[in-house]
Amino acid sequence: MLSCTKLNVAASLTLVTLISFAGCAGQKPDAAAPSAGAAGAGATEPKSDEPRAGGEEKKPAEPAEGDEPAAGDKETRTTEVIQALVQENRKPVRECYEKARKQIPDLKGTMVIHFVLDPEGKVKEAVLNVEKSEVKSPDIVNCAVAVIKKIKFPPSSRGMETTINYPYTFNP
């Protein structure tokens, strides 16, 4: 009789475990947020002045009437999209770096610009991430911030703000 009770308990626990896993089987796992500076899966390491992007979504905004995405829609303003736009506009930042090197010949390292995109794609805030930056020259920082503020980013398909820490790596 005792062995039947143990068998019933073991069978019950197995059944409960299977049911709880079955309940999760239809769900997609949450995407891991890329770490600051991660360029995304499969991306190559950037060359000296080629920056990498890392971003995260937060603060849902009120979508325009009739503009609400269907549940389960994926964000179209991805880290890769943001990275491509910033890389397309890196030449002016590199020129600012080269100009600053004339005054500081051994200037090199990483400069991380922290910026926030509003749901419409406008740069809400752009500043130097002092803690993550080695290069802190005001001329280069102001130049990078001005360049980023001019970029036309796509709107968030989910009505979300996007926070980015974008590293520029400068080597002579």
Query: 100-156, pLDDT tens digit by residue?
Result: 999 999 999 999 999 999 999 999 999 999 999 999 999 999 999 999 999 999 999
16 occurs within a structural domain: no
User: Does the structure show a pLDDT above 50 at 44?
Assistant: no
- In which domain, by residue range, is 126 found? 52-62+74-172
Q: What is the structure's pLDDT at 97? A: 95
CA distances from 89 to 50, 135, 143, 148, 149 (A): 10, 19, 11, 8, 11
What pTM, to 2 d.p., does this model score? Answer: 0.59
25 occurs within a structural domain: no
57 occurs within a structural domain: yes
6 occurs within a structural domain: no
118 occurs within a structural domain: yes
Task: Please give the tally of structural domains in the chain.
Answer: 1
144 occurs within a structural domain: yes
